[in-house]
Amino acid sequence: MSTSRIRTASRIVAALSAASCLAAGLAAAPAAADPRPRTLGELAKRHHKYFGSATDNPEFTDAAYMELLGSEFGQTTPGNAMKWYATEPERGVFDFAAADEVVSFAKAHHQKVRGHTLVWHSQLPAWLTEGTWTADELRAILKNHIQTVARHYKGRVIHWDVVNEALNEDGTYRESLFYKALGPGYIADALRWAHEADPHAKLYLNDYNVDGIGPKSDAYYILIKQLKADGVPVEGFGLQGHLALQYGFPAGVQENIQRFADLGVDVAITELDIRMPLPATPEKLATQATWYAEYVKACLAVEKCVGVTIWDYTDKYSWIPSVFPGEGAALPYDENLRPKPAYQAIRKVLGG
Ligand code: G3I
């Protein structure tokens, strides 16, 4: 049979089989499974990065929320469960129940986990903030806390935010409980102790208002450079990314990520959300969408930017309205778990 006759014959066969499917009321089967990645997590993975969401234990009773958390994202961060008040509520008495719940969920859904956070001035237990400690006592308490928590999660977290929010806006050290008693050396000590307890987790410093180039990110640049020169195991810098439409998009985000990468540390976008004065309008949501896209694009452009985490994924569970009254709508899904323009913009930038 000639080639053209074969083509004609196979067209007839195809037409007949489609017609018989229709006659039988059956839809023709697709030629092959749709190979396009369907989720933000899958899309990010194609770029060798993760796309994740923070979560919190009270949300675990919301089945619709959990379904999306487990399916759409490739990484999760416990929003509160690993903080000191939760993990060591009494001196020397550790409670990992809430954090274990998040880590087990993540494991069951093949998600990476970022550990957040070992040392922070906020959400400390009363026994610690109300006690009177000598420097030696506080150093021992700090070491024990860091090492007990990091050992418990050894092999189960990819990163630790070892010290969170250590600097002020002008780049000076925050006068935290730890700084006041131990001086700036507590940061290097914390990193060394965490490394001893879990040598494979990448150890981060993490802060807000360090997205672009400015005095605070400049100070972190100098600090991390010095820590590395001293052989301290600092391996990542976390840009929290809590932005607000009314303050404008930070200048030089990609350049900032790149300069930390050039120092030899990874960079993670750890707590991204973009709030706005309420009510949300189509115009504000459109601007928010371009900002999300812009931020994600900056991470994609730098090889050592390892991933993006949004600080929960739905406006239903955002921390914003309780802290900034009159502001909100900060996340890519609305309060009814419906994707917003920001969601579509992130998908697009990830190639979806
Ligand atoms: O645990 C109590 C509960 O017993 C009580 O019934 C309830 C009533 O308000 O409060 C509960 O504590 C809340 C806690 O979250 C746990 O849900 C606190 O009031 C609330 O202030 C606290 O907010 C957390 C906030 O950190 C504290 O600063 C947010 O959920 C959490 O998302 C937020 O996360 C921080 C990051 O860790 C660091 N970067 C900034 C980011 C946003 O603030």
Cα separation, 328 vs 315, in Å, equals: 7
In CATH, the number for domain 37-350 is 3.20.20.80
Cα separation, 168 vs 5, in Å, equals: 78
Per-residue model confidence as pLDDT tens digits over 269-325 = 999 999 999 999 999 999 999 999 999 999 999 999 999 999 999 999 999 999 999
DSSP H or E stretch at residue 266: strand 266-277
Ligand 1 contact, 79 CB (< 6 A): yes
Average pLDDT for 70-79: 98
Report the mean per-residue pLDDT for the chain: 92
Q: What is the pLDDT of residue 294?
A: 98
Cα separation, 173 vs 206, in Å, equals: 14
Query: Among 264, 343, 352, 336, which Cα is nearest to 302's?
Result: 264
Ligand 1 contact, 76 CB (< 6 A): no
Ligand 1 contact, 80 CB (< 6 A): yes
State the virtual CA torsion across 223, 227, 229, 231 in degrees, nearest 10: -170
State the distance from the centre of ligand 1 to the C-alpha of 127, rounded, in angstroms.
18
Residue 14 has pLDDT above 60, yes or no: no
Q: Which of 72, 165, 235, 271 is catalytic?
A: 271
Average pLDDT for 98-115: 98
Neighbouring C-beta atoms of residue 28, cutoff 10 Å: 11
- Share above pLDDT 90 across residues of the chain, in percent, rounded to a whole number: 89
Residue 271 annotated to the active site = yes
DSSP three-state, residue 31:
coil
Amino acid at site 56 = D
Query: Among 113, 109, 115, 116, which Cα is nearest to 39's?
Result: 109
Residue 53 has pLDDT above 60, yes or no: yes
Tokens of 82: 């690993």
- Ligand 1, atom 29, lies closest to the CA of 319
Cα separation, 342 vs 253, in Å, equals: 18
Average pLDDT for 327-350: 98
Per-residue model confidence as pLDDT tens digits over 114-124 = 999 999 999 99
Ligand 1 contact, 313 CB (< 6 A): no
Cα separation, 215 vs 327, in Å, equals: 26
Q: ∠ at Cα 232 (182, 141), nearest 5°?
A: 35
Where residue 107 falls (left for φ over 0; alpha for ψ -120 to 50; beta otherwise) is alpha
Query: Among 321, 270, 322, 338, which Cα is nearest to 330's?
Result: 321
CB 331 within 8 A of CB 315: yes
Residue 27 has pLDDT above 60, yes or no: no
Residue 132 has pLDDT above 50, yes or no: yes
